[in-house]
Amino acid sequence: MTEENKTDKKNCGGKSKAMFAYGIIQLSSSVVSAVALAAIALSFCSLKQENKLFNECVEEIQSTGKNSSDAVRFCNGGN
């Protein structure tokens, strides 16, 4: 082997470490993104449940003879 080939092999060691670090960073950012998307999906489930309860409240108040705006105000905490 010539001197030139030996120095090329020595320089590859640093490049492989950098590429390994880059791969780890890419993988960890993908994991963080997946966790964030899961958290968003779970928050939509709770919003759906809250929306269902609010609509039931409005329908119940409307069945007593009040109009829609009064029912919405009551269900939002007004009198």
Decide if 52 is inside a domain.
Answer: yes
**pTM of structure:** 0.52
Residue 9 lies in a domain: no
Question: Does pLDDT of 3 surpass 60?
Answer: no
Going by C-beta distance under 8 Å and a sequence separation of 6 or more, which residues neighbour residue 74?
A: 57, 61, 66
Residue type at 63? Answer: S
**Is 51 within a domain?**
yes
| 71: containing domain | 40-78
pLDDT in tens, 11-65: 566 788 889 999 999 999 999 999 999 999 999 888 999 999 999 999 999 999 9
Q: Look at the chain and report how many structural domains it folds into.
A: 1
Q: Looking at the domain assignment, is residue 45 inside a domain?
A: yes
In the numeric block, which tokens belong to residue 71?
């029912």
